[in-house]
Chain A
Amino acid sequence: MSVDQKTVKKIAHLARIRVDDEDVPRLRDELNSILKWVEMLSEVDTDNVEPMTSAVQTSMKKRPDVVTLGGHPELIVANAPASEDNFFMVPKVVE
């Protein structure tokens, strides 16, 4: 499988990365060279093979449903580029 310029733009939009038109051909070639290389995997017979879901077999850990760390909104927003009254500030989303 390979990607064309239109697909590159679509992926970039899905990934929320602005891509300038002049960079699209280069990105297409780079992505295609990686995709071509990983195509090697089609040689492997994976019928009846379960996908790996965890590197180490363990049962899911559970903990009591209690607040362990909380009540510090000022710490949560401390690194925000813009915040007000412990809320994150973003450009207007609703007209």
Chain B
Amino acid sequence: MTELTNKKISEIRDGLKAKEFSAVELTSAYIEEIEKAEPLNAYVFKTPQQAMEMAKASDQRIAKGEAGPLEGVPLGIKDLYATRGVHTQACSHILDGFKPEYESHVTSNLFGDGAVMLGKLNMDEFAMGSSNESSYYGNVVNPWRRSGSSDDLVPGGSSGGSAAAVAAHICAGATATDTGGSIRQPAAFTGTVGIKPTYGRVSRWGIVAFASSLDQAGPITRDVRDAAIMLGSMAGHDPMDTTCVDAPVPDYEAALTGDIDGLRVGIPKEYHMDGMSGEIEALWDQGKEWLKSRGAKIVDVSLPHTKYALPAYYIVAPAEASSNLARYDGVRYGLRVNGSDIAEMYENTRAEGFGDEVKRRIMIGTYVLSAGYYDAYYAKAQKVRSLIKNDFDEAFKDVDVILTPTTPSAAFAPGEITDPVEMYLNDIFTVTLNMAGLPGISIPAALDAKGLPLALQLIGKPFDEETLLKTAHVMELEAGFTARPERWW
């Protein structure tokens, strides 16, 4: 049934409408494929029964002519999203057994539009990681391997399960979240498309919080059109999230006109990093040529505070995380490890429930917020953040979008990076957008000499996802990236 699972979301929509297949047939095909893909460890909890019921309901709505925009589309949901009555544990031991009594705003939107849930996807614990090696449920394996090699590679993180599942065609699209690059970096490592919308475009309500001023939800999909379709359903006002803007959601798919004549594309000189691979440099140049050949104008821009974004992020994000994760205390949900008194119960629960990376970040965050250090660290980082935002505001006076690589390298092997700071450098090109609240999209653009996907990133003005998607669509057409991982699972 791989024929059915090869269909993109746009093709599913057309095929269901034309009655070429049913939603039940499509979902069954996915359930079969998921069973065969165990070695990828992309799903931490499968919901085949619920999926079949949702697919049956989709077929009934299609028969009545009441199909929604995502009718019958089988999706994987990142474990960070609250799904009513279904495993929601942020892939942490500390949320053992947690089944929310409510549904996240985003999944409500998606299911309200007819989407089918196949299950919950693996991720780095509490979305902290760039390689999906910190999940309580074990590593996710990238469907891609180096040519001629049978060694595992990481899928990136934190949305590694989402990216691997989309690349392996064991879901038609997936929800993901991005705090420092967690949508775009795994998309780059797996040859998929990932968009992080503007902060405030999508409601965070019902998504387990990591760093509230940086977190934003978005989709990972097989192509730009599918990203436009999914984002259109996920976005929108929600009174439950006060940072979510009350602005109409444009028809993103209609923005994919293929016309970027006269578009001004900025190239930030600070993104030429020491030690960046020659292949990435060459691909970046190629990206400029692709857009130029379609009438875009290339403009050099400067983002002078770029190199400070990552260290500032590693103050702001852990600070906010230490505060957000204070709620996991063994009282209200999840794991409890008893102690001789309540304080010991808290300490034992959190010692056993959190993994090493999460503990490290909570401790950094606790330290930088502790008495006497707030101004030196947190206030300083928030000032640097203003400077980063100003850099972008200045650049966007002269350009409509900015083009950069997504990551400094292709996917690496598990265990290859053990130094925390070296791991953090994976997000060097993506984290600036979170700091400034800007939208960004990663588009697969080429294979490297070892046969692994490489990607380019486009950065947009706040709430201008339309221009971003339009440009990404043209880039996709020019790049003509159709490679698929060779099936070994």
Do A and B associate with each other? Answer: yes
Q: Answer whether A75 and B101 are a contact pair too, CB < 8 Å, given A15-B322, A41-B308, A49-B386.
A: yes
Q: Is the CB of B98 within 8 A of A79?
A: yes
B346 in the interface, Cβ–Cβ < 8 Å? Answer: yes
Place the interface of chain B in its size category: 35 or more
B486 within 8 A of A: no
A54–B382 CB distance below 8 A: no
Taking A14-B370, A51-B382 as contacts, is the C-beta distance between A88 and B332 under 8 angstroms?
yes
Whose C-beta in chain B lies nearest to the C-beta of A16?
A: B346
Q: How far is the CA of A75 from the CA of B363 in the complex (A)?
A: 32
**How many Å from the CB of B487 to the closest CB on chain A?**
39
Cβ B311 vs Cβ A38 within 8 A: yes
B243: chain A residues within 8 A (beta carbon)? 54-56, 58
Partner of A17, one of B199, B246, B363, B383: B363
Q: A30-B360, A80-B331 are in contact. Are A63 and B342 (CB under 8 A)?
A: no
Any A CB within 8 A of the CB of B170: no
Question: Could you pull out 24 A-B pairs where Cβ atoms are within 8 angstroms?
Answer: A8-B363, A15-B322, A15-B363, A17-B359, A31-B360, A33-B421, A37-B421, A38-B311, A38-B315, A41-B380, A44-B308, A49-B383, A51-B385, A51-B386, A52-B386, A53-B382, A56-B245, A58-B200, A77-B332, A78-B101, A79-B97, A91-B338, A91-B342, A93-B341
A67 at the interface (CB under 8 A from B): no
Docked-complex contact B350 and A18, CB < 8 angstroms: yes
Bound state CA distance, A38 and B386, in angstroms?
17
Q: CB distance A56 to B437 under 8 Å? A: yes
A82 to B322, CA, bound (A): 25
- A-B pair count, CB < 8 Å, reads 165
Q: Does B65 contact A (CB under 8 A)?
A: no
- Report yes or no: A38 in contact with B330, Cβ–Cβ below 8 A: no
A26-66, CB under 8 A of B: which get 1 and which 0?
01001101110111111110100111111110101101000
Shortest beta-carbon distance, B277 to chain A, in Å? 22
Inter-chain contact A30/B338, CB cutoff 8 Å: no
Contacts of A18 in B (CB 8 A): 344, 347-348, 350-351
Q: Which of B200, B345, B360, B366 has the most chain A CB atoms closer than 10 A to its own CB? A: B366
Question: For window 194-218 of chain B, which residues contact chain A by CB distance below 8 Å?
Answer: 198-200, 213-214
Q: Tell me, in angstroms, the Cα distance from A62 to B389 when the chains sit together.
A: 26
Given contacts A33-B420, A37-B314, A40-B308, contact A79 B363 (CB under 8 A): no
Q: How far is the CA of A11 from the CA of B322 in the complex (A)?
A: 11
Give chain B nearest CB distance to A33 CB in angstroms. Answer: 6
Which residues of A lie under 8 Å from residue B330 when comparing CB positions? Answer: 81
Q: Assess whether B79 is interfacial by the CB under 8 Å rule.
A: no
Residues of B whose CB lies within 8 Å of any CB of A are: 97-101, 198-200, 213-214, 239, 242-243, 245-246, 305, 307-308, 311-312, 314-315, 322, 326, 329-336, 338-339, 341-348, 350-351, 354, 359-360, 362-364, 366-367, 370, 373, 376-377, 379-387, 389, 419-421, 436-437, 462
The residue among B100, B199, B367, B376 with the most chain A CB atoms within 10 A of its own CB is B367
**In the bound complex, how far is the Cα of B311 from the Cα of A62, in angstroms?**
34
Contact assessment for A19 and B351 in the assembled complex, using a CB-CB cutoff below 8 Å:
yes
Q: Chain A residues near B346: list those with CB within 8 A.
A: 16
Which residue on B lies nearest to A81, using beta carbons?
Answer: B336
Residue of A nearest to B381 (CB): A41
A46 smallest CB distance to B (angstroms): 4
C-alpha gap A46/B308 in the complex (Å): 12
- Are A11 and B370 in contact, CB atoms less than 8 angstroms apart? yes
A30 and B382 within 8 A (CB): no
Chain B nearest CB, measured from A14 CB (Å) = 5
Q: Which residue of B lies closest to A60 (CB)?
A: B242
A44 proximity list for chain B (CB < 8 A): 305, 308, 383-384, 387
Minimum distance in angstroms from A59 CB to a CB of chain B: 11
Enumerate chain A residues within 8 angstroms of B421, measured Cβ to Cβ. 33-34, 37
Distance in angstroms from B105 CB to nearest chain A CB is 13
Contact between A55 and B420, CB atoms less than 8 A apart: no
Q: How far is the CA of A27 from the CA of B34 in the complex (A)?
A: 39
Interchain CB contact under 8 A, A93 and B311: no
If A56-B243, A58-B243, A60-B242 are given as contacts, then 10 extra A-B residue pairs at C-beta distance below 8 Å, sorted by A number, are A11-B367, A17-B347, A33-B421, A37-B314, A46-B384, A46-B387, A49-B387, A79-B333, A81-B331, A81-B333
CB proximity of A52 to chain B, nearest CB, Å? 4
- Residue of B with least CB distance to A45: B387
Contact (Cβ within 8 A) B420 A34: yes
Does B389 contact A17, Cβ atoms closer than 8 Å?
no
Indicate if the CB atoms of B383 and A50 lie closer than 8 Å. Answer: yes
Contact of A16 among B350, B377, B383, B462 (CB under 8 A): B350
Indicate if the CB atoms of A41 and B199 lie closer than 8 Å.
Answer: no
Interface centre among B335, B347, B373 (most CB of A within 10 A): B347
Contact A41 B312 (CB under 8 A): yes
Chain B: minimal CB distance from A27 (Å): 7
Are the CB atoms of B354 and A17 closer together than 8 Å?
yes
A11 to B70 CA separation, bound complex (whole angstroms): 48
**Roughly how many angstroms separate A46 CA and B335 CA in the complex, as a whole number?**
43
Partner of B199, one of A8, A14, A43, A56: A56
Report yes or no: A91 in contact with B341, Cβ–Cβ below 8 A.
Answer: yes
For residue A68, which residues in chain B have a CB less than 8 angstroms away from its CB? 239
| Nearest CB of chain A from residue B184's CB, rounded to whole Å | 17
Q: A16 touching B329 by the CB < 8 A rule?
A: yes
Of B200, B246, B307, B359, which is in contact with the most chain A CB atoms at under 10 Å from its CB? Answer: B359
